Amino acid sequence: METIHYISSEILSLEILKDIITQDKKLALSEEARVNIEKCRTYLDEKMKEHSEPIYGINTGFGSLYNVKISNDNLSKLQENLVKSHACGTGEEVPLAIVKIMLLLKIQSLSYGNSGVQLQTVERLIEFYNNDILPIVYTQGSLGASGDLAPLAHLSLPLLGEGEVYADGFRQPANKVLSKMSWEPVVLKSKEGLALLNGTQFMAAYGVHILIKSIKLSYLSDVIGAVSLEGFDGRIEPFNELIHLIRPHKGQIVTAKRMNEILEGSEIIAQHKKHVQDPYSFRCIPQVHGASKDAIDYVKKVFRTEINSVTDNPNIFIDSDEIISGGNFHGQPLALALDFLAIALAELGSISERRTYQLISGLRGLPPFLVSNPGLNSGFMIPQYTAASIVSQNKQLATPASVDSIVSSNGQEDHVSMGANAATKALKVIDNLERILAIELMNASQAIEFRRPLKSSEFIESFIKSYREEVPLVEEDRILHYDIENTIAFIQHLELDESVFE
């Protein structure tokens, strides 16, 4: 049965967004949203009939051309020219899953009745979303203020019958798709082009996508870390709640509690230990994983605010009878949050690789490189090299983008956020983290076999059993590239309890 999400002023949370995306829900405007959009457009039309003074972006040029007055006869052409001229994106194509989130967030932002768009324009964006007609958008071109101009121009081109879209399984000209659907191009009215292009939906869509994946990989970092701990014959004491209650960072407490739950009933963790202490990469899992959890929670709050905001310019306030030009398109809150998120994710990868290194080092009764007959077999020697190279790349990608700014538009736009670069970098970081965790899981699941006949917890044994259906035990050298790829696929296809995302 087809399910529908109604666009309204009710708070759109990350959990609701995840549900819309994973359940492939269709969108529709609530009556409230419909009324807000129509009232604002009517107000603007009436305002322009009686108002001869320049209002930025409505009857003026854009950027440093703000002082060029445009006649009422050319207001529609002005908006069309804006969309076309700003479609200067280049580089790789934005993943289609993120383009679809961009559409959703743009629809949400335009629905509050502060942007002055036509109802027809928003409804066409909804038709694009519901029919999986996804504009081709490029990763490079946005400074993160005045919003994501170039990417959002490419997102908007198909409204005019311009640009390209991905539809029916392949890339094709937008005008052909409109013709097939018997849709006429939208004729933009005053301010509409600016409403479509000003906004943070490129940065925000990346953030939503990365956050959903971050929460999953943060949880799996704990699970895979616990498997590594068992393979390394580690100690349980560092997860005792008494330690964490005297340094009560939320993420630290949550991580320690989760580790205890994952390890409950394990014969391996309960056996007598010859060693008094574990290396930091095991002993400090609550402190390191927990800090990343707290960072993710902070970023969630920033994006929760952003996806429920109006980020175009100028903004229309009917009740106050004002049209105000400001700076809600500036992506600084997102740029800082995305940089913080990239650092937090890079650290999860960094500590994961250190656990992998410990496992292959021939310590605590484990054979060198986790394989029988080492020498003839190289075993898991080189996957650690791969993980190390990816960790190093993540360190480079975690260099903040938000500390940079380059002047644009003849000095009128003299400070920008670079949030779009922060977003695209953060996506690479989390995709890299997924690969690093996959390599740790390969090593950890191999190491735990050398603890037999002792068993781990019921949870871990069940987890490893599922994994072994996809990636068998390594008994002699084979091409491990395929094992890495199959482990990544295993991680991607894991379905987690919804409580993990709360």
The answer to whether residues 399 and 255 belong to one domain is: yes
In a domain? residue 362: yes
The answer to whether residues 161 and 306 belong to one domain is: no
The pLDDT averaged over each successive group of 10 residues in the chain (502 residues) is: 89 95 96 98 89 73 65 81 95 98 98 97 98 98 93 98 97 97 95 94 98 98 98 98 98 98 98 96 98 98 98 95 93 98 98 98 95 89 97 98 92 90 98 98 97 98 97 95 98 88 72
- Residue 60 DSSP class: B
Strands 315-317 and 4-7, bridge-based pairing: unpaired
> Catalytic site residue 56?
yes
In a domain? residue 321: no
> Who contacts 392 (Cβ-Cβ below 8 Å, separation ≥6)?
none
Task: Write the single-letter amino acid at 30.
Answer: S
Stated as kind and residue range, the H or E segment containing 91 is: strand 90-93
Q: Which pair of structure tokens corresponds to residue 403? A: 């500390």
Q: What is the number of alpha carbons within 13 Å of residue 283 lying toward its C-beta?
A: 8
* Last residue in a domain, options 156, 172, 199: 199
- Residue 413 DSSP class: B
Give the span between the Cα atoms of 448 and 467, in whole angstroms: 13
In a domain? residue 496: yes
Determine the pLDDT at residue 36: 98
Determine the pLDDT at residue 1: 56
pTM: 0.96
The answer to whether residues 230 and 91 belong to one domain is: no
Domain that holds residue 465: 206-312+346-501
CATH number at residue 446: 1.20.200.10
| 8 A C-beta contact, residue 250 and residue 293 | yes
Catalytic residue among 56, 129, 166, 467: 56
Give the span between the Cα atoms of 413 and 12, in whole angstroms: 31
In a domain? residue 102: yes
The answer to whether residues 372 and 262 belong to one domain is: yes
The answer to whether residues 66 and 110 belong to one domain is: yes
By CB atoms closer than 10 A (0-12, 13-18, 19+), residue 177 is: buried
> Who contacts 400 (Cβ-Cβ below 8 Å, separation ≥6)?
339, 422
Q: How many domains does the chain have?
A: 2
Determine the pLDDT at residue 61: 65
> Who contacts 368 (Cβ-Cβ below 8 Å, separation ≥6)?
360, 361, 362, 374, 379
Give the span between the Cα atoms of 346 and 68, in whole angstroms: 47
Determine the pLDDT at residue 39: 97
The answer to whether residues 183 and 269 belong to one domain is: no
Q: Where are the alpha helices (DSSP H) in 360-418?
A: 381-397
Determine the pLDDT at residue 487: 98
The answer to whether residues 354 and 394 belong to one domain is: yes
The answer to whether residues 136 and 249 belong to one domain is: no
In a domain? residue 319: no
The answer to whether residues 390 and 367 belong to one domain is: yes
In a domain? residue 335: no
Give the span between the Cα atoms of 348 and 431, in whole angstroms: 12
The answer to whether residues 225 and 165 belong to one domain is: no
In a domain? residue 175: yes
Q: How many CB atoms lie within 10 A of CB 298?
A: 15
CATH number at residue 50: 1.10.275.10
The answer to whether residues 467 and 482 belong to one domain is: yes
* Last residue in a domain, options 153, 177, 199: 199
Give the span between the Cα atoms of 114 and 194, in whole angstroms: 13
For the beta sheet containing 170-173, the strands, ordered from the edge strand earlier in sequence to the opposite edge, are: 134-135, 164-167, 170-173
Of the chain, the end-to-end C-alpha distance in Å amounts to 26
* Last residue in a domain, options 199, 219, 246: 199
Give the span between the Cα atoms of 127 and 94, in whole angstroms: 20
Give the span between the Cα atoms of 107 and 29, in whole angstroms: 9
Q: Which pair of structure tokens corresponds to residue 216? A: 């999953």
The answer to whether residues 276 and 418 belong to one domain is: yes
> Who contacts 55 (Cβ-Cβ below 8 Å, separation ≥6)?
314, 323, 325
Provide DSSP, 156-196: HGGGGT-SEEEETTEEEEHHHHHHHTT-PPP---TTHHHHH
By CB atoms closer than 10 A (0-12, 13-18, 19+), residue 173 is: middle
Determine the pLDDT at residue 374: 82
> What helix, strand, coil percent values describe the chain, rounded to 5?
60, 5, 35
